[in-house]
Amino acid sequence: MPAARHLLARLAAACGLGLFLGWCWPALGAQEFLTAEQAFRLETVSLEAGRARLQWRIAPGYYLYRERFAVSALPSGQPLQPALPPGERKDDANFGVVEVYHGGVAMQLDAAGADALRVTWQGCAEAGLCYPPQTRTVQFAATAPAASVAPGTAAPAPLALLLWGALLLGAAAGASDPWRPLPLGVASARPAAELRFEPVASIDELHARVAAARAEGRATMVDFHADGCISCKAIKREVFADAQVQQALAGMVLLSADVTANDAHHQALMRTLQVAGPPTVLFFDAQGREQRSARLVGEFDAAQLLQRQAAARRKPSVVQEQPA
């Protein structure tokens, strides 16, 4: 009962912000996340007298980290120091004071002598999902102040991603590492052993392991996580350590996709499977088909995972074929 009251209190506190933003409806249905490109749109780039100005529009319910902006001059690669306005300060007992931007932000910097800029930024959804860094190359025209933005290393372009349950704590999220929505405290039973996950680092590895599980007549669960993702750490500590969860997952092939490095293999893996970022959990049935309606996105508790795992077994008709 104390754990339940604690959860309800956290939910009420989160909904105080979330109701205004329209995202707080645990147990009422699914929410679709925007792609990173839709959530954080670089709209205006100009260059006048060697001074560059870049402006982002941030969708409602999303935010950018002030400290995650980075700019370098091209072709030299020289790091540049952008001028940014103060962000909204968030004081967290665990991680200290951080600054974030909602709605939009403009950056100015000295770009004299640069033919182009390499610009990186990173943000999260209020609902607890954080995106990998986005990087763009901004090309300056030789005779005009306007500039063009070329694609770089961006967050995967997922389609509709399902969010279910109490995804509560993104609004107060943040730390020096961008994969950090705040943890959700969930009391659970503590077993003697840990679940054993097999690492997969690419889409080819995942395909091969799911195919092997299919040959064995076994279902598969894939856990996407990253080192700095506090929600991921809470899930490992409180959910995967739960005795009922361990019993329910017994006999399944458990795969771990650590996307901390966000390299080309990780980006291809997330893009192919339409995963926006960690934490995300996927379920594949014994025929190697993803049970898309059972997907978990954002922080979840043991009860939610057990419900989705059971639903994946009950509804083999709601599937997505494994990507080729």
201 and 306 in one domain?
yes
Beta strands of the chain (E only): which ranges? 40-48, 51-58, 62-65, 70-74, 79-80, 88-92, 96-101, 104-110, 116-121, 123-125, 134-140, 147-151, 198-199, 220-225, 253-258, 280-284, 296-297
Answer whether residue 136 is part of any domain: yes
Last residue of a domain, one of 99, 129, 151: 151
Look at phi and psi of residue 205 and say left if phi exceeds 0, alpha if psi is from -120 to 50, else beta.
Answer: alpha
Q: Tell me: the pLDDT tens digits for 105-155?
A: 999 999 888 889 999 998 888 776 778 888 899 887 644 444 555 554 443
Tokens 């607890």 belong to residue? 128
CATH, residue 131:
2.60.40.1250
Last residue of a domain, one of 106, 134, 151: 151
210 and 140 in one domain?
no
141 and 46 in one domain?
yes
Q: What's the total number of domains in the chain?
A: 2
Q: Is the pLDDT of residue 198 over 60?
A: yes
144 and 81 in one domain?
yes
- CA terminus-to-terminus distance, the chain: 47
* Mean pLDDT, all residues of the chain: 75
- Both structure tokens of 92: 């967290």
Q: Are strands 51-58 and 104-110 parallel, antiparallel or unpaired?
A: antiparallel
106 and 194 in one domain?
no
200 and 144 in one domain?
no
Answer whether residue 24 is part of any domain: no
Contact 39, 131 (CB under 8 A): yes
CB count, 10 Å around CB of 315? 13
- Both structure tokens of 3: 């754990």
187 and 310 in one domain?
yes
Last residue of a domain, one of 129, 151, 173: 151
Answer whether residue 82 is part of any domain: yes
CATH, residue 235:
3.40.30.10
Q: Is the pLDDT of residue 283 over 90?
A: yes
Parent domain of 286 = 183-314
Local structure of residue 59 (DSSP, 8 states): -
Answer whether residue 286 is part of any domain: yes
Q: Tell me: the pLDDT tens digits for 67-107?
A: 889 999 999 999 999 999 999 987 643 345 779 999 999 99
Answer whether residue 55 is part of any domain: yes
Q: Tell me: the pLDDT tens digits for 168-193?
A: 333 333 434 444 444 434 444 444 46
Helix 203-215 and helix 264-273, axial crossing angle in degrees, nearest 10:
50
Contact 11, 26 (CB under 8 A): yes
Question: Does the N-terminal peptide bond of residue 2 adopt cis geometry, omega within 30 degrees of 0?
Answer: no
194 and 263 in one domain?
yes
Q: Tell me: the pLDDT tens digits for 211-253?
A: 999 999 999 999 999 887 778 888 999 999 999 999 999 999 9
Rg for the chain, CA atoms, rounded: 21
Answer whether residue 1 is part of any domain: no
192 and 146 in one domain?
no
292 and 235 in one domain?
yes
243 and 141 in one domain?
no
pLDDT band at 43 (very low <50, low <70, confident <90, very high): confident
Answer whether residue 323 is part of any domain: no
Answer whether residue 282 is part of any domain: yes
105 and 206 in one domain?
no
State residue 150's pLDDT score. 55
Burial of 58-88, coded b for 16+ CB within 10 Å and e otherwise, reads bbebbbbbbbbbebebbeeeeebebebeebe
